[in-house]
Amino acid sequence: MRFANNWLMGKNHATQNAALVTMTRGAVLAGAFMGAVAFSAQVRADDDEGGNWDFSGFAAMDLRVFPDSALHSGQRDQHLNPSLVLQPEISYEWNDGDDRIDFIPYLRIDPQDSERRHADIRELKYLHIDDGWDLKVGADKVFWGVTESRHLVDIINQTDAVEDVDGEDKLGQPMINLGLQNEWGDVNFFAMPYFRERTFPGRKGRLRGSIPVDTDKAEYESDMEEFHPDFALRYTTVLGDWDLGLAHFYGTSREPRLLARPDANGQITLIPRYDIINQSSVDVQATFDEWLWKLESIYRQGQGDDFFAVSGGVEYTFFGAIGDAGDLGVLAEYHYDGRDEDDAPATVFNDDIFVGARITLNDTADTDFLAGVVFDRLDHDRSFSVEANRRLTDHWTIEGELRLSDGISESSPLYDARRDDHLQVRLNYYF
Amino acid sequence: MNKILLASVFSLSLAVFAGSLSSAPALADNSDPVAKGTAVAEEWDRRDQGFGDSEAIMKMELENRHGEKSLREMRQQIFEIKEDGLGDKSLTIFDEPRDVKGTAFLSFAKTFDPDDQWLYLPALKRVKRISSKNKSGPFVGSEFAYEDLSAQELKKYTYTWLRDEACGELQCAVVEQIPVYEDSGYTRMVTWYDLSEYRQQKIDYYDRKNELLKTLNFGDYRQYLDKYWRSHDMFMVNHQTGKKTRLVFEKIEFQTGLQESDLTKNSLKRVN
């Protein structure tokens, strides 16, 4: 669960060629992919073992309900926002699974916001697993971190911010990733030849700031723009009850600054600007019986003054506390972020406390609930969220998400979203 | 607690002594039920040592009291760890139901201490270290608790022989087992070991109030590598709720070339 509000600072000029842009990106990815296949076919041509195809995925119907009327000019003033999602997964593996290709395209059809109506290649990668090392070529998703209410150190993938406000939906990131597994820990090298720009809701969409972001006019610090090669190095190890990760990233900041610029008609628009940054990070979890202690921290250079940010907290689970077999988990996390208010991308997590509860019923339907609130200690606003999931049959599941905010003043970063409280219901069909 | 520990140490030393006197455990003195029960369990344990590694395809059929059924399908890799105090390493990957496809569970079992466990969530590509204090909790909503399925290490229990009796066509030793590890949901279990091959044929589980909670019946035993017996059909009935779970092993392979390095936190991220 996450409460990051990327859309607060963002918006968008409705653009009709998002699909075209996606196609171009697809072509770039497909090129990398074909290269990988050719490489592997050459190396493994002597192996006659048959491979295995696997086809799966899901289709979903989303319905967002906004009780309040839209606030900003240009927004479609509708209380109901239905949309459809399709995410098939195709895998082919051979050599007993030591070689594999995964392809996961993604499509959302939203009748109201043309920016949210988009397609992506979540994954298109070749993976080779060997003795003590593995290699990945193509687009993939990589997650780093341990905390629940903010994913501070997670930096490889761009956020697909039109999907949800929690920042957990990601765009596929083209990469070459070499992993080395050693007695003393694992080392992963990432080279990322192409950068993915963040998505933002369009002019007609909800959950945006008062001025839409014009994603077509994105600016870059690097002259190479989205072709600036980005690199990352990560070390992870397990020491008894401790899981530790250290990382460094050099390249294009996944978080853009949003600059107010007049467009051709003299209208103010917001332009995303992507800086080149260096970011070092550490993430640690200590697991002591029912207690999970979590800490993430970053040190970033390249966006105004160097700054430091930290997220840390605890999760305690009362096993079997609900009914016969249900677990109750309680969570508390604190977020500090020392970034420059003028020269770094804005964040809502400058000085915030999160408290939450998780209920896992451990029943046949895998029912679970997650509820939480983020208090901002500076602006005194509060964001509430409740999520619930349940399996209906072997193929159908239902999810509900309620997001509310309260105590918002004009200085709050949530101010532009004060009328965007909403309930989202999602019906999934898995195949 | 001290009494239980002392009894356990005492029974183990007795068992070693008994074992050194005769290779056939059934010959242990009937007048010492602890030594005899321990000897039976030791024989069960001894016959399963050295299997190395195994890979299995499993199907679980969950049935509620109204007869409604739901299916789970998973694959499991097990790597035997022989070191004292440590249990086996296992990796379980889910294929059904489809919404949890690709979810994977890695466990490094320990005899007395909590196991080390990680969960892989494919939608987020996130590996989470999780608490293993939920031993008595249900595994994927089934009637099997985590502790029923985790590595069955000899030293996790103390043993007391109750009686010998017929079990189907076979003759069984009936042994009471008391968990020595923390957080068990059971005060005791009663296990039927057949005296021809020392396989578990049936287990009665007694809850924390010492009331009969569940019965597990083992069927369709098949022998592998001319030595290792595996039940392909485990049927658990919860007497208190009327719910049932049948765990069927569609395929088990031994010594597949699995290495310890295949069961790591890193390997969770690349399961398929």
Residue spans per domain, chain A? 6-44+51-430
Asked whether the beta carbons of residue A325 and residue B266 sit closer than 8 angstroms, the reply is: no
Give, for A70, the enclosing helix (H) or strand (E). none
Shortest Cα distance, chain B CAs vs residue A303, angstroms: 28
Q: Residue B63's closest chain A neighbor by CA? A: A364
Judged on CB neighbours under 10 Å (0-12, 13-18, 19+), B23 is exposed
Pairing of strands A268-274, A219-220: parallel
- Domain locations in chain B? 2-49+150-249, 53-142+254-268
Region A286-306: what's the mean pLDDT? 97
Q: Check if the beta carbon of residue A352 is closer than 8 Å to that of residue A334.
A: yes
In CATH, which of 2.40.110.10, 1.10.10.60, 3.20.20.300, 2.50.20.10 is domain B2-49+150-249?
2.50.20.10
- The pLDDT value given to residue B12: 42
ipTM attached to this prediction: 0.86
Q: Which pLDDT belongs to residue A299?
A: 98
CB contact residues (below 8 A), chain A span 218-237, against chain B: 236
Note the pTM of the prediction, 2 decimals: 0.87
What's chain A's length in residues? 431
CA distance linking residue A385 with residue A132, whole number of Å: 42
Other C-beta atoms closer than 10 Å to the C-beta of A313 total 23
Instruction: Give the residue-averaged pLDDT of B53-67.
Output: 95
A242 and B CB contact within 8 Å: no
CATH number for the domain formed by residue range(s) B53-142+254-268:
2.50.20.10
CA distance A42 to A36: 10
Distant-in-sequence, close-in-space partners of B36: CB < 8 Å, separation ≥ 6: B25, B28, B29, B30, B161, B173
Question: Are A181 and B131 within 8 A, CB to CB?
Answer: no
CB contact under 8 A, A238 and B265: yes
Region of poorest pLDDT, from A128-132, B25-29, B52-56:
B25-29
CB A25 within 8 A of CB A196: yes
pLDDT score recorded for residue A84: 98
Please name the residue of chain A whose CA is at the shortest distance from the CA of residue B124.
A143
Tell me, what's the pLDDT at A362? 92
| Residues of A (45-84) whose Cβ lies below 8 Å from B | 54, 56, 58
User: Terminal CA-to-CA distance of chain A, rounded, Å?
Assistant: 25
Determine if the peptide bond prior to B97 is cis (ω within 30°). Answer: yes
What number of C-beta contacts closer than 8 Å exist between A and B? Answer: 98
Distance (Å, rounded) from C-alpha A93 to C-alpha A51? Answer: 5
CA distance A255 to chain B (A): 19
pLDDT tens digits for range B192-219: 999 999 999 999 999 999 999 999 999 9
Question: Is A421's Cβ below 8 Å from some Cβ in B?
Answer: no
How far does B241 lie from chain A, in Å, by closest CA? 11
- Closest partner residue to B97 (CB to CB) among A285, A320, A391 is A391
pLDDT of res. B31: 82
Q: What is the CATH number of domain A6-44+51-430?
A: 2.40.160.10
Residues above pLDDT 70, as percent of chain A: 89
User: What's the pLDDT tens digit per position in B78-93?
Assistant: 999 988 888 899 999 9
**A134 has a chain B CB within 8 A of its CB:** yes
Is-same-fold flag (B2-49+150-249; B53-142+254-268)? yes
Model confidence at B29, in pLDDT bands (50, 70, 90)? low
- Cβ <8 Å between A430 and B137: no
B152 has pLDDT over 90: no
Q: Do A131 and B261 touch (CB under 8 A)?
A: yes
Residue pair B255/B242 in contact (Cβ under 8 Å)? The answer is: no
Lowest mean pLDDT of A110-119, B104-113, B169-178, name the range. B104-113
Cβ-Cβ contacts under 8 Å, B116 against chain A: 238
Residue B1 has pLDDT above 60, yes or no: no
Q: Residue A108: pLDDT band by 50, 70, 90 thresholds? A: very high
Q: Which residue has the higher pLDDT, A1 or A269?
A: A269
Range list of β-strands (E), A184-229: 185-192, 219-220
Q: How far apart are CA A191 and CA A315, in angstroms?
A: 34
Q: Three-state DSSP class for A210?
A: coil
